[in-house]
Amino acid sequence: MNTVIEIAILVLAGFVGFEVISKIPNTLHTPLMSGTNAIHGIVLLGALLIIATASGPLEQVLLVVAITFGTINIIGGFFVTDRMLEMFKRKPEPPAGEQGDLPRGQSAGDQEDKS
């Protein structure tokens, strides 16, 4: 294929990907993020297998860069997924008589000053 056609396909794929992702509701973000982490894990494994057969230094450098970015993407994705799942967990209720009884916007130090 011609290089211009390949660049045009890349740009169009970027636009289509942006439009599809921007339409996804927030409730589906966490499951989709977990799925893309699994896909990137497969891509990372493929890059590790291919680097053994790389013939030139340019191929090796590109594969190392790809492996590095893939690893960063996977780790970051898992951190984001974990953080989003933490938002859905119930917070433990504070025992009676602690800071939970103070009026909104007031801290324990404010209470002592007024006494």
User: Is residue 72 in some structural domain?
Assistant: yes
User: Is residue 11 in some structural domain?
Assistant: no
User: Is residue 81 in some structural domain?
Assistant: yes
Confidence label for 8 from pLDDT (cuts 50, 70 and 90)? very high
Euclidean distance between CA atoms 67 and 89, whole angstroms:
33
Confidence label for 16 from pLDDT (cuts 50, 70 and 90)? very high
| Number of domains the chain is built from | 1
Nearest to 77 by CA among 112, 25, 38: 38
Nearest to 34 by CA among 89, 83, 69, 68: 83
Q: Which domain holds residue 64?
A: 28-87
Give the tens place of pLDDT for each residue, 67-81: 998 888 888 888 877
User: Is residue 21 in some structural domain?
Assistant: no
User: Is residue 42 in some structural domain?
Assistant: yes
State the pTM of this model: 0.53
